[in-house]
């Protein structure tokens, strides 16, 4: 009971309308599946997975409003083409995006990777530098393909798994200032800030830090861009952790966050709860026109169905803070269940729980793939899939940090599932001496970027 009001405290802001059976396999079935997948959990067929924590991207549960929008007449409109204003779906979505995020110009695209590729083509100059806070691998690759070098200026606590710093995603202002001074503002293509930094544990960037970065960027005439794919989680953690924001709505914090940037790219597959879609937003009309043309040339324009699903999701997400609260608190619940029993990245992030693999398996040398070995053991004993996830950032490699991400898809699993996950990892930690390393098999004809095959050592 809530003592501050009459009645109960509401926990979940939605009910289950559609269900899909989950496969409950036997130990022998899982062992056979693991052997067939050459001990790589990425290669296990979906029908043999109980709970899938490999990603939270594009796998969120759709709402009845989204499914209704998907089957409506607007979703059958033709694409934007070169006459975007002629699309009713685009103009309706653009109005909504402008109202929520505050950028006057928006370009819907197919995915976040497409948004990054187009944005870097426009803004990243060859032989220049981009200052960032442990940017996501696809962002890094697009910047490097554009001929620029990335300089990581994230806070030092981002590499300390035990640190209680509440905003590990913050930029180190001293490092950023030194970078601009060393190379000169004219050689800095932009400052790129990822919100809820995925690589270091889903940790947020504070408004205070963003304001200081904005001041520095303005003084040096350097553009400031956001990777905003997890802006909702970042805003919720600001509301919970940054003084002066407790009484503000998520929408207000989102709007102020965007007000500090010149533009943003966004994968809609995370916070906007859709299986396809991304966004580019800007204050500069010339950049908008270039981005819109480039999206047309690249074949990256979002279909009407994707735009309709995003529009329906935005209406639900920002009608109340309840959804974002339930999403992040589910992650926090799992973190609390594991804290003290499993070596974790501290404090909890917004979209997943991160395990300190070196603390979990100190007896398995890094050369013997401890992360993949742990994932294989967890699948064999529980049917739960976890994967290594994106490659570590260069600064993480320098600091010898190795993490296993338990990515929690939004609106998909129940509290009982979180308990199952907790029990699986607590069991694995109790039996960690049974987990041995793996060796990579070099299979002729297999492409080097394909998920690797492993064998036990």
- Tell me: do 285 and 372 sit in the same domain: no
- Tell me: do 353 and 448 sit in the same domain: yes
Give the Å distances, CA to CA, from 3 to 7, 190, 248: 9, 49, 22
**Does residue 370 contact residue 437 with C-beta atoms inside 8 Å?**
yes
Q: Give 217-265 as a 3 state SS string.
A: HHHHCCCEEEECCCHHHHHHHHHHHCCCCCCCCHHHHHHHHHHCCCEEE
Q: Is residue 4 part of a domain?
A: no
Phi, psi dihedral angles at 316 (to 5 degrees): -70, -45
**Can you give the pLDDT at residue 1?**
39
* Residue-by-residue pLDDT tens, the chain, 457 positions: 344 555 667 788 888 888 889 989 999 999 999 999 999 999 999 999 999 999 999 999 999 999 898 888 888 787 777 777 778 899 999 999 999 999 999 999 999 999 999 999 999 999 999 999 999 999 999 999 999 999 999 999 999 999 999 999 999 999 999 999 999 999 999 999 999 999 999 999 999 999 999 999 999 999 999 999 999 999 999 999 999 999 999 999 999 999 999 999 999 999 999 999 999 999 999 999 999 999 999 999 999 999 999 999 999 999 999 999 999 999 999 999 999 999 999 999 999 999 999 999 999 999 999 999 999 999 999 999 999 877 888 888 888 999 999 999 999 999 999 999 999 999 999 999 999 999 999 888 888 888 999 999 9
- Tell me: do 260 and 325 sit in the same domain: no
- Tell me: do 292 and 362 sit in the same domain: no
Domain end marker among 290, 317, 344: 317
Residue entry with tokens 């010149």: 262
| Token pair of 445 as six digits | 């004809």
- Tell me: do 242 and 255 sit in the same domain: yes
Phi, psi dihedral angles at 294 (to 5 degrees): -65, -35
Residue 403, strand partner residues: 356
- Tell me: do 105 and 220 sit in the same domain: yes
- Tell me: do 195 and 340 sit in the same domain: no
* 391 upstream amide cis, omega within 30 of 0: no
Q: Is residue 9 part of a domain?
A: no
The domain of 431 spans: 27-60+321-456
Residue 11 CB-density burial (10 A; 0-12 exposed, 13-18 middle, 19+ buried): exposed
For helices 304-317 and 88-101, give the axis angle rounded to 10 degrees. Answer: 30
- Tell me: do 275 and 302 sit in the same domain: yes
Rg (the chain; Cα; Å): 22
Q: Is residue 264 part of a domain?
A: yes
Domain end marker among 266, 285, 317: 317
Residue entry with tokens 């050369």: 367
Phi, psi dihedral angles at 270 (to 5 degrees): -100, -85
Q: Is residue 294 part of a domain?
A: yes
Looking from the CA of 333 toward its CB, the CA atoms found within 13 Å total 17
**Can you give the pLDDT at residue 444?**
86
Domain end marker among 317, 335, 370: 317
- What CATH number did the domain enclosing 41 receive? 3.90.1150.10
Residue 167 CB-density burial (10 A; 0-12 exposed, 13-18 middle, 19+ buried): buried
What global pTM score does this model have? Answer: 0.94
**Can you give the pLDDT at residue 285?**
97
Q: Is residue 20 part of a domain?
A: no
| Token pair of 143 as six digits | 């910047």
- Tell me: do 270 and 212 sit in the same domain: yes
Phi, psi dihedral angles at 305 (to 5 degrees): -60, -40
Provide the residue count of the chain.
457
| Token pair of 409 as six digits | 């898809």
Of 417, 415, 410, nearest in space to 384 by CA: 417
- Tell me: do 437 and 372 sit in the same domain: yes
**Can you give the pLDDT at residue 41?**
97
Q: Is residue 185 part of a domain?
A: yes
Q: Is residue 3 part of a domain?
A: no
- Tell me: do 275 and 329 sit in the same domain: no
**CA 211 – CA 216 distance, rounded (Å):** 9
**CA 318 – CA 38 distance, rounded (Å):** 44
- What's the structural domain count of the chain? 2
**Can you give the pLDDT at residue 242?**
98
**Can you give the pLDDT at residue 217?**
98
**Can you give the pLDDT at residue 134?**
95
Q: Give the chain as a 3 state SS string.
A: CCCCCCCCCCCCCCCCCCCCCCCCCCHHHHHHHHHHCCCCHHHCCHHHCCEECCCCCCCCCCCHHHHHHHCCHHHHCCCCCCCHHHCHHHHHHHHHHHHHHCCCEEEEECCHHHHHHHHHHHHCCCCCEEEECCCCHHHHHHHHHCCCEEEECECHHHHCCCCCCCCCCCECHHHHHHHHHHHCHHHEEEEEEECCECCCCCECCCHHHHHHHHHHHHHHCCCEEEECCCHHHHHHHHHHHCCCCCCCCHHHHHHHHHHCCCEEEEECCCCCCCCCCEEEEECCHHHHHHHHHHHHHCCCECCHHHHHHHHHHHHHHCCCCHHHHHHHHHHHHHHHHHECCECECCCCCCCEEEEEHHHHCCCCCHHHCHHHHHHHHHHHHHCEECCCCCCCCHHHHHCCCCEEEEECCCCCCCHHHHHHHHHHHHHHHHCHHHCCCEEEECCCCCCCCCCCEEEEC
- Tell me: do 267 and 370 sit in the same domain: no
Give the Å distances, CA to CA, from 98 to 39, 74, 107, 225, 372: 47, 20, 11, 16, 43
**CA 97 – CA 281 distance, rounded (Å):** 9
- What CATH number did the domain enclosing 84 receive? 3.40.640.10
């Amino acid at each position: 009971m809530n003592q501050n009001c009459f009645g109960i405290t509401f926990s979940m802001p939605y009910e289950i309308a559609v269900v899909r059976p989950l496969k409950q396999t036997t130990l022998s079935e899982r062992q056979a599946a693991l052997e067939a997948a050459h001990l790589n959990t990425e290669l296990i067929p979906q029908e043999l997975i109980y709970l899938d924590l490999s990603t939270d991207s594009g796998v969120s549960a759709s709402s009845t409003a989204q499914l209704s929008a998907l089957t409506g007449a607007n979703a059958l409109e033709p694409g934007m083409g070169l006459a975007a204003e002629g699309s009713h779906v685009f103009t309706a979505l653009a109005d909504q995006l402008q109202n929520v995020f505050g950028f006057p110009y928006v370009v819907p695209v197919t995915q976040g990777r497409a948004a990054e590729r187009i944005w870097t083509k426009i803004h990243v100059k060859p032989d220049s530098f981009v200052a960032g806070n442990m940017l996501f691998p696809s962002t890094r690759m697009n910047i490097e393909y554009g001929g620029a070098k990335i300089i990581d200026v994230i806070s030092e606590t981002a590499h300390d798994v035990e640190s209680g710093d509440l905003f590990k995603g913050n930029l180190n202002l001293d490092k950023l200032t030194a970078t601009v001074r060393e190379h000169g503002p004219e050689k800095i293509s932009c400052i790129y800030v990822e919100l809820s930094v995925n690589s270091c544990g889903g940790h947020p960037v504070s408004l205070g830090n963003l304001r200081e970065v904005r001041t520095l960027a303005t003084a040096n005439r350097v553009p400031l861009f956001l990777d905003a794919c997890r802006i909702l989680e970042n805003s919720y953690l600001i509301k919970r952790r940054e003084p002066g924001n407790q009484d503000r709505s998520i929408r207000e914090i989102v709007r102020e966050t965007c007000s500090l940037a010149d533009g943003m790219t966004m994968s809609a597959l995370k916070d906007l709860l859709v299986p396809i879609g991304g966004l580019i937003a800007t204050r500069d009309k010339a950049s908008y026109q270039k981005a819109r043309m480039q999206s047309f040339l690249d074949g990256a324009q979002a279909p009407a169905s994707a735009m309709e699903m995003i529009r329906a999701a935005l209406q639900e997400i920002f009608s109340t803070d309840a959804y974002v609260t339930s999403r992040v608190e589910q992650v926090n619940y799992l973190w609390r269940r594991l804290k003290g029993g499993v070596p974790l990245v501290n404090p909890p992030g917004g979209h997943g729980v991160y395990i300190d693999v070196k603390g979990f398996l100190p007896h398995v040398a890094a050369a013997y793939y401890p992360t993949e070995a742990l994932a294989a053991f967890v699948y064999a004993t529980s049917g739960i899939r976890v994967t290594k996830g994106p490659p570590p950032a260069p600064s993480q490699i320098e600091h010898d940090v190795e993490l296993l991400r338990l990515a929690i898809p939004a609106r998909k699993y129940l509290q009982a599932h979180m308990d199952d996950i907790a029990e699986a990892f607590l069991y694995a930690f109790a039996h960690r001496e049974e987990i041995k390393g793996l060796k990579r098999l070099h299979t002729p004809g297999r492409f080097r970027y394909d998920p690797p095959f492993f064998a036990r050592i």
